[in-house]
Chain A
Amino acid sequence: MTSSSSSSNAYDVPWVEKYRPSKVADIVGNEDAVSRLQVIARDGNMPNLILSGPPGTGKTTSILALAHELLGGPNCKEAVLELNASDDRGIDVVRNKIKMFAQKKVTLTPGRHKIVILDEADSMTTGAQQALRRTMEIYSNTTRFALACNTSAKIIEPIQSRCAIVRFSRLSDQEILGRLMVVVQAEKVPYVPEGLEAIIFTADGDMRQALNNLQATYSGFQFVNQANVFKVCDQPHPLHVKNMVCNVIEGNFDEACSGLKQLYDLGYSPTDIITTLFRIIKNYDMAEYLKLEFMKETGFAHMRICDGVGSYLQLCGLLAKLSLVRETAKAV
């Protein structure tokens, strides 16, 4: 789709960056961690941090907002060193660049320290992480480190031992909706409630994806409704998957398989199909016991797909197992 920006926008800036909060208090979700970051932003003396969590939950935003509040002002550029995935982060960078930054003297107010931000820290090499472990301790009086990563297991254990690990979890639908409404009002986007609901469904706890989908839908169609959202997001259509589940529950196994065939022929990957199927099952109105068994079988199928067994045969096998579960539930 060719995206044409609205004439009312003077800038062509992505909304993800345009509406990124610059204060810790404005961050959406994860209230336990954000409230502690607010205290640190007010009083200073920030410990070394590892912010861990799935994408789109506010890790980078929290670090940048915290650095902005602690060191906002003329010294901001000199006192903050930010390295992200696009930078070279081998062992030489740690031995030379980071160490030189730590040794540099910057005049700061009491309680404030220089900050080294390592975004996407799990993509650092193991050697670089090993070289970093002693530097964090030696220069702890003048420099503090903030690491952001998706999986804390990719950070070596000596680094984890020198930091406080803060885990970010996925945002709830209410939190995403609240933020979307703010952006919708600011950008004067015409919408219907089910359109926003569709965006929240496709984002599934990812704030960045929600904002990008909102902007893409508005740029492409100038109106946010359900049909337009699903055209932009290119995911298996939830109604189609829901129809499959309905056929399984009603005993129409052949129709369910034909529906699955259609999805597979459209080119969706098994991971996309299984993910959407799980979401539909999670929200479907069926007996509690039946829903539990369906989710269980879907989880096992997802595990097999991640192991590399993701053929059409496996997906049909999943539908067959769901049918067996349904037969068992009826017998009981």
Chain B
Amino acid sequence: MKGSCDLGTPKRRKAEPEEQCSPAAENTKKRKSSAKLTPRKRASKNSTPKKNSTPKKNGSAVGSPDSAWKIDLRLEAKLSAEEDSRMFAGRKIHPFFSLWKVEKQNQGQEHALSAVKREGRGITCGPIHIFENVQDGASPLDWSDWTFLDKTTVADFGTESSNLFVMEGSIESLNFDNLPSSIRPSSASSSHNAMSCSSQLSIQPDSMLEISPPNSAVLANEQAIWPLKPEDAKVDLDLEVNENTFSGHQGIFRKSDTEPLSKFLQESMRSYYHSCKGKAESSLWIHKYKPTKAFEVCGNEEAMNFLRDWLHLWHERRYPCRKGSSNRDQSNRQDDGDNYICSDSDYASEDINEKDSLQNVLLITGPIGSGKSAAVYACAHEQGFKILEINASDCRNGAAVKQKFGSTLESNHGKFKRLLDHTESPHKKTVKLLPSPALPNGIEAEEMGDGVIELITISDDEACSLGGTSPRLRGKSNVFTCGSVQTLILVEDVDILFPEDRGCIAAIQHISETAKGPIILTSNSNNGGLPDSFARLHVSFSLPLPDELLCHMYMVCVTEEVNINPLLLKNFIQSCDGDIRKTIMQLQFWFQSKKYKKDRKVQKVYGSLPFDLEACHQIIPKMLPCDYPSELSKLIEKEIANSITIMEDNSCSQGLVNKELDINERKNDLDVQFMKTDYLEAKVERIKRSLTDCSRFESQHSAISELSHCSGSLVTSSWQKDQSKHIVMSSDSEEKDPNNGHSLDVHEEVYKRHSLESNSEYLCKFQTNQAYPSTSFCKLVCSGLEDSEEERYKYVETAHDACLNETCKSFDMSCFPGTISIPETAIQNGIKPMSGPVSSGCHADPVEVSLNNELTPFTFSVCQSLDKLPQNSDSLVNTEIPESFSKAAVQNLRDGNTETSTVCNVIDECGHADFKWKSKFAESSPSMAMDMVHLWRKHRICQKDLGQHDNPELGVIQVVKLTSGLTNLISEADLLFHGHQQKQCGIMEPLMSLSDEAIYSWYYEQMMMSTVAVHGFCFYAKRISDVGSKFGFMNEVDLTSEMLACTTNVMALGNLSRQDQTKSTSIHAKKQLEVNDPTNIMKRTCLSNAIRSIIPARSSLSMKGLAFNEYISSLRQISFSEGFRISHGSENMRKRRRVAPHYLSRGRMALSPEIISLVCEGDLFRNISSQYTANMESNCT
């Protein structure tokens, strides 16, 4: 009774919607027709009338469950009515009416959506309610089940619509120009798929169109692929431009490949490839292109020569014995033959020695697919040996091996041996016969003649075996009548022996002692599992070089009329790890029957392929817009030019120096600048002789320090400063007067200055005594790196505190070592310097000199503030305001508020300008009051200029953050994959067969990881393109094609091979040119020079915040990594890519003198950037 009730209820529900279906169907038809006619932009307007119509359906929908419920109650009372309704409902289940149900349900969805919007909290209660239903199976809960169904539908529909909205948003954020062209083909393709799926019914496509878009929204891969599709349109434009490049490139490739070959080998190889065409069409390419001669083997020339010579020795060993016994052959011999016989008789004793010393066992080892077996067959075929092979598919028991090879020991009974050979190896007969059709017609005819002759004396079976021999064996037909053909025993894979094959090695060892023919063993491992007492020769094979294999494969493709791009072929070889056999097999699968291929436009879809981290590493440099102009360096140059123009007013003789400085700035070339500075030093010495004014020397000192500051090389700057101080210190009497004057005011400050001056005096004395070369000075700088790092580390700590008082304390602590050196200098004032203390002092002083350079501005600023009290309050306020705003600026930058951050950056620049102004003000004498006024005014002008250039910096900072997130994502994805691979290795070792559930979960884990990686990668790619577009740099990288080009997965290569030849060729050609283009390298060097020029100026901004430090270090690392990638990109092996560095956390720097100078300043940023990375990681966890 309950069963019948349950069956009846849903049928009743079905019956009622059918009655109401007819008016609704008419409305839906009208809407569909209107939707098709109008373009997509108007579709949004059509959605609003649908909403208007919902209240009408709301009433009807609300009523239907109530009416259904009542009818159910009545049906329970009357059994006979149920039977009638059941029969009626069963008949009406017709495909036409089922379509109406679909339409009705779609309308129900829209209605339910509006209902849920009014009651937002209903969704949260639904699942809990359902959960209770699952536990209880009582009949009164059927009504609540029905209610749950509606809410479930509503929730899913809501998520679908929101996903659609997200997709639209993502589309708009990408290239706007391509939107109209990209949306239509994608919708067309989806509709086409719908049409193809439901071709049986004509009405079906309409409903499919409505159903498939919501389902596509659910796909994660679709979300990943969708942002990439708009860029496909650009690929066509780029490819057309590069077609010309491709044609030239292909010609170059062919010429370069064929030239190295010698003429003889070239002709023979051509005949080889040409002869292969004659072979059967239905054979595998591996068998078709199997080498039949030694020189046809790809790679391993030394091993091939050894093997061939060894077999040749074995061949000659038996040949003269046979020849000596026969007399008929002498009449056929030419002069060479006569000489051979004479030599044989003369050196009979030597032959005996050779027989004794020649080893009959050869072990060939090498990796899989390196051509071991093919080489053995080629050499044996060339020398005329017959091969008896035993491999892993044979029973290799000790007794079986002896039984099989026992016949070879009886060399006298030839006929019996021949019969055994035929029975034991029927399959090799077919292998032998195949090469005969490949021979030219002339030689083949001769063979037939010989065969006919042999019929006189030999039976039919033996004649067939003779037919398979090569023409070089013709002379041996007479020898064959004597009773034996030389045999070669080949034992394949001796390192793979099963318990069933016990005794195989002992049997082989026994045979080798008694046999009179060569024995070859092959294995993959080096030792082959053989005992040490087994006397044998050893030859090792290796995989062929990529260039050799590329040439070989290209010839195979040309012979098969496959038009493939060499770069794509190179990728195939790389994906197969240089395995000859595997590469040919893959090429056959993807390229055979290329002639009959239909012309299709294959859609570039990367979503179906598993995510490849190696390709991701390669693409990151392309995604980043690295060509931001460094406008700050230009501003710094302007400031220096302004300060130099002020100095022109002082004297005419200084005008010459200023002009030279201008020339140096304009060229901005380090090498030329260094020569100019040498010339400048000579000029300075001349000026020294003519002029004695103290203030002028100080002005030159400040100018030179700025110049060296701009150039950024620490060695040059320290050298110049030492020279200038030497000049300054030459007039001690004049300088002591102002010191004495100051001593009355501040006693402590005078004490510090005195200690600094005493150190410099000590260094000057050292310089006057000895003239050391620059290289030794560089070594001093290197040795002092550790000490400077410690001092800089303290400096970093003070930077974090950002407090003025603590800064002063740290200065006192850092100056403390200087006080120790005072007694040494006092002692040595009256005594000649000794070698020991001089060398130790030499190490210590440059460090302090660099420290003095760092600390001098702060010390002078403190002195100046103490000297002039009325200006003191203003300067303190100026220093405090930037410090407080720097923190606010960092927070605002993180929030992404553009306007506020712009204002804060302006304030930061003001603080920076004030800071510079203080240092210059302190260095100059008080008599230059008028010049200070000019400097101050011009720096104000610079402030305005700085404000205009804030935007690029902001964009750079955002890009850096996105890059950091992207590289962190790659690191974590690599960690996930690594864990996955490690588990995979663990599974293989115990050789256990996993259950289906374990395999399923294993693969599902891999799927999960790739989904995370794909989602994150597309997320960051979209963000980076947004930032680039905001600041005027359009990112024109086509991610889909780049991912396909960089991936070494075989399926991706297959996908590329199916595309048009020109398109795939141009992609690789573009990639090739980008690596080899010299102008690109020049751009990188300019970029690195520009960054290098920024770093010293920015070192004073380390107190401002982490953002600037991260910006500088990241720019430097990116330029280096890109330069490294460009120079070594073509040489990277597959395994090395997995060790690809994290672009921000680890920088790979090639050691050069220029970079060593950067290390002194770079250490500061390394510590801060590492801390910043640690903070981000902690945030992620």
* Residues on A facing B (Cβ under 8 Å): 30, 32-33, 35-36, 39-40, 42-45, 47-49, 54-55, 91, 94-95, 99, 103, 110-113, 122-123, 126-127, 130-135, 137-141, 150-151, 153-154, 157-158, 160-167, 169-170, 172-174, 177-179, 181-182, 185, 188, 190, 192-194, 197, 200-201, 222-223, 225-227, 237, 239-240, 242-243, 246, 262, 271, 275, 278, 282-285, 288-289, 291-293, 295-296, 298-300, 302-303, 306-307, 321, 324-325, 328, 332
Check B938 for interface membership: any CB of A closer than 8 A: no
Q: A94-B393, A239-B130 are in contact. Are A138 and B427 (CB under 8 A)?
A: yes
How long is the Cα–Cα vector from A35 to B98 in the complex, in angstroms? 35
Task: State the 9 A-B residue pairs at the shortest beta-carbon distance, nearest first.
Answer: A178-B197, A164-B589, A134-B391, A285-B162, A43-B593, A295-B1012, A135-B393, A111-B282, A239-B127
Q: A55-B996, A282-B220 are in contact. Are A141 and B126 (CB under 8 A)?
A: no
Q: Is the beta-carbon distance between B1055 and A172 smaller than 8 angstroms?
A: no
How long is the Cα–Cα vector from A138 to B394 in the complex, in angstroms? 12
How long is the Cα–Cα vector from A164 to B575 in the complex, in angstroms? 12
A-B contacts besides A190-B101, A303-B1005, 16 pairs, CB < 8 Å = A45-B592, A54-B1003, A127-B498, A137-B286, A137-B373, A140-B284, A150-B999, A167-B1051, A169-B1051, A174-B215, A177-B215, A185-B200, A193-B211, A227-B148, A237-B130, A285-B162
Check B178 for interface membership: any CB of A closer than 8 A: no
Q: Is the beta-carbon distance between A300 and B999 smaller than 8 angstroms?
A: no
How long is the Cα–Cα vector from A51 to B991 in the complex, in angstroms? 21
Q: Is the beta-carbon distance between A95 and B394 smaller than 8 angstroms?
A: yes
CB neighbours of A151 from chain B (8 A):
984, 999, 1002-1003
Check B653 for interface membership: any CB of A closer than 8 A: no
Other-chain contact of B93, A30, A133, A170, A190 (Cβ < 8 Å) = A190
Q: A150-B999, A164-B589, A299-B1012 are in contact. Are A283 and B218 (CB under 8 A)?
A: yes
Q: What residue in chain B is nearest A123 (Cβ atoms)?
A: B993
> Hey, what's the 0/1 contact readout for B1052-1067 against A, CB within 8 Å counting as 1?
0011001000000000
Check B369 for interface membership: any CB of A closer than 8 A: yes
Q: A55-B996, A163-B585 are in contact. Are A225 and B149 (CB under 8 A)?
A: yes
Q: Is the beta-carbon distance between B983 and A306 smaller than 8 angstroms?
A: yes
Other-chain contact of A192, B105, B190, B984, B1058 (Cβ < 8 Å) = B105
Check B325 for interface membership: any CB of A closer than 8 A: no
The 22 listed contacts between A and B (C-beta, < 8 Å) are A32-B1054, A36-B590, A45-B284, A49-B589, A137-B373, A157-B368, A161-B579, A161-B581, A162-B582, A167-B1051, A169-B1051, A174-B212, A188-B93, A192-B101, A192-B105, A239-B152, A240-B127, A243-B128, A288-B1019, A296-B972, A299-B1009, A328-B1179
User: Counting chain A CB atoms within 10 Å of each CB, which of B101, B979, B1008 scores highest?
Assistant: B1008
Other-chain contact of A283, B159, B201, B993, B996 (Cβ < 8 Å) = B159
Q: Is the beta-carbon distance between B127 and A292 smaller than 8 angstroms?
A: no
Check B924 for interface membership: any CB of A closer than 8 A: no
Check B863 for interface membership: any CB of A closer than 8 A: no
Q: Is the beta-carbon distance between A167 and B197 smaller than 8 angstroms?
A: no
Q: What's the least CB distance linking B777 to chain A, in Å? A: 48
Q: What's the least CB distance linking B15 to chain A, in Å? A: 13
Check B609 for interface membership: any CB of A closer than 8 A: yes
How long is the Cα–Cα vector from A284 to B217 in the complex, in angstroms? 11
Size bracket of the B interface: 35 or more
Q: What's the least CB distance linking A277 to chain B, in Å? A: 10
Q: What residue in chain B is nearest A136 (Cβ atoms)?
A: B393
Check B281 for interface membership: any CB of A closer than 8 A: yes
Other-chain contact of A303, B152, B976, B1180 (Cβ < 8 Å) = B976
Q: What's the least CB distance linking B665 to chain A, in Å? A: 43
Other-chain contact of B124, A161, A182, A246, A298 (Cβ < 8 Å) = A246
Check B277 for interface membership: any CB of A closer than 8 A: no
> Hey, what's the 0/1 contact readout for B219-234 against A, CB within 8 Å counting as 1?
1110000000000000
User: Counting chain B CB atoms within 10 Å of each CB, which of A42, A127, A201 scores highest?
Assistant: A127
Q: Is the beta-carbon distance between B1051 and A161 smaller than 8 angstroms?
A: no
How long is the Cα–Cα vector from A95 to B396 in the complex, in angstroms? 11
How long is the Cα–Cα vector from A162 to B589 in the complex, in angstroms? 12
Check B974 for interface membership: any CB of A closer than 8 A: no
Q: Please provide the chain B residues from 259 to 288 with a CB less than 8 Å away from any CB of chain A in the complex.
A: 281-287
How long is the Cα–Cα vector from A262 to B131 in the complex, in angstroms? 9
Q: Is the beta-carbon distance between A194 and B1005 smaller than 8 angstroms?
A: no
How long is the Cα–Cα vector from A110 to B282 in the complex, in angstroms? 7
User: Counting chain B CB atoms within 10 Å of each CB, which of A44, A113, A137, A278 scores highest?
Assistant: A137
Q: What's the least CB distance linking B190 to chain A, in Å? A: 8
Q: What residue in chain A is nearest B94 (Cβ atoms)?
A: A188
Q: What residue in chain B is nearest A35 (Cβ atoms)?
A: B1058
Check B755 for interface membership: any CB of A closer than 8 A: no
Q: A45-B281, A133-B392, A178-B198 are in contact. Are A169 and B610 (CB under 8 A)?
A: yes
Q: What's the least CB distance linking A211 to chain B, in Å? A: 15
CB neighbours of B602 from chain A (8 A):
32
Check B492 for interface membership: any CB of A closer than 8 A: yes
Q: What's the least CB distance linking B982 to chain A, in Å? A: 10
How long is the Cα–Cα vector from A222 to B448 in the complex, in angstroms? 76
How long is the Cα–Cα vector from A225 to B152 in the complex, in angstroms? 11
> Hey, what's the 0/1 contact readout for B967-994 against A, CB within 8 Å counting as 1?
0010010001001100110001001010
Q: Is the beta-carbon distance between A292 and B1012 smaller than 8 angstroms?
A: yes
Other-chain contact of B201, A39, A185, A237, A246 (Cβ < 8 Å) = A185
Q: What's the least CB distance linking A1 to chain B, in Å? A: 13
Q: What's the least CB distance linking B228 to chain A, in Å? A: 16
Other-chain contact of A32, B145, B215, B1055 (Cβ < 8 Å) = B1055
Q: Is the beta-carbon distance between A223 and B596 smaller than 8 angstroms?
A: no
User: Counting chain A CB atoms within 10 Å of each CB, which of B7, B220, B434 scores highest?
Assistant: B220
How long is the Cα–Cα vector from A194 to B894 in the complex, in angstroms? 42
Q: Please provide the chain B residues from 475 to 508 with a CB less than 8 Å away from any CB of chain A in the complex.
A: 492-493, 496, 498, 500
Q: What residue in chain B is nearest A324 (Cβ atoms)?
A: B1181
Q: Is the beta-carbon distance between A239 and B218 smaller than 8 angstroms?
A: no
Other-chain contact of A48, B281, B282, B585, B1179 (Cβ < 8 Å) = B585
CB neighbours of A262 from chain B (8 A):
131
How long is the Cα–Cα vector from A222 to B8 in the complex, in angstroms? 12
How long is the Cα–Cα vector from A133 to B581 in the complex, in angstroms? 13
CB neighbours of A289 from chain B (8 A):
1019
How long is the Cα–Cα vector from A293 to B1020 in the complex, in angstroms? 13
Check B102 for interface membership: any CB of A closer than 8 A: yes
CB neighbours of A35 from chain B (8 A):
1058
Q: Please provide the chain B residues from 275 to 329 with a CB less than 8 Å away from any CB of chain A in the complex.
A: 281-287
Q: What residue in chain A is nearest B10 (Cβ atoms)?
A: A223
Q: A110-B282, A161-B579 are in contact. Are A170 and B492 (CB under 8 A)?
A: no
Q: Is the beta-carbon distance between B999 and A126 smaller than 8 angstroms?
A: no
CB neighbours of A157 from chain B (8 A):
368
Check B1016 for interface membership: any CB of A closer than 8 A: yes
User: Counting chain A CB atoms within 10 Å of each CB, which of B145, B204, B1000 scores highest?
Assistant: B1000
Q: A39-B596, A48-B585, A169-B609 are in contact. Are A226 and B152 (CB under 8 A)?
A: yes
Q: A36-B589, A103-B427 are in contact. Are A95 and B395 (CB under 8 A)?
A: yes
Check B1011 for interface membership: any CB of A closer than 8 A: yes
User: Counting chain B CB atoms within 10 Å of each CB, which of A112, A162, A289 scores highest?
Assistant: A162
Check B1007 for interface membership: any CB of A closer than 8 A: yes
Other-chain contact of B156, A150, A158, A174, A194 (Cβ < 8 Å) = A194
Q: Is the beta-carbon distance between B393 and A197 smaller than 8 angstroms?
A: no
Q: What's the least CB distance linking A7 to chain B, in Å? A: 10
Q: What's the least CB distance linking A15 to chain B, in Å? A: 17
CB neighbours of B1016 from chain A (8 A):
292, 295-296
How long is the Cα–Cα vector from A5 to B101 in the complex, in angstroms? 24
CB neighbours of A324 from chain B (8 A):
1181
How long is the Cα–Cα vector from A131 to B391 in the complex, in angstroms? 8
Check B879 for interface membership: any CB of A closer than 8 A: no
Q: Is the beta-carbon distance between B211 and A177 smaller than 8 angstroms?
A: yes
How long is the Cα–Cα vector from A162 to B976 in the complex, in angstroms? 31
Q: Is the beta-carbon distance between A134 and B392 smaller than 8 angstroms?
A: yes
CB neighbours of A227 from chain B (8 A):
145, 148-149, 152
Q: A47-B589, A111-B281, A141-B287 are in contact. Are A283 and B212 (CB under 8 A)?
A: no
